[in-house]
Amino acid sequence: MSDREFEGKVALVTGGGSGIGRAASLRLAAEGAAVVVADLNEAAAAQTAAEIEQTGGSSLAIRVDIASESDNDAMFEAATRGFGGLDLAYLNAGILQPYIPFEQVTTALLDRVLAVNLRGTFFGVQRAQAILRPGGACVATASAAGLLGFAEATAYTISKHGIVGLVRAACASFAARGLRINAVCPTMVLTGMTGNAVREPIKDLNELQDPEYRGALSAQHIAEVALFLLSRRSAGINGLAQPIDAASLAGFPPLPS
Nearest to 1 by CA among 26, 35, 37: 26
Indicate the burial class of 122 (C-beta count within 10 angstroms; 0-12, 13-18, 19 or more): buried
Separation between Cα atoms, residue 92 and residue 121, nearest integer Å: 8
Nearest-angstrom CA–CA distance, 64 and 215: 32
Query: Would you call 90 a catalytic residue per the annotation?
Result: no
| DSSP-assigned letters across all residues of 9-70 | -EEEEETTTSHHHHHHHHHHHHTT-EEEEEESSHHHHHHHHHHHHHTT--EEEEE--TT-HH
CA pair distance 132, 89, nearest whole angstrom: 8
Neighbour count for residue 187 (Cβ, 10 Å): 24
Looking at residue 169, its amino acid is A
- Which entry of 90, 99, 156, 213 is annotated as an active-site residue? 156
Cα angle 219, 250, 143; round to 5: 40
CB atoms within 10 A of CB 178: 11
Catalytic positions: 156
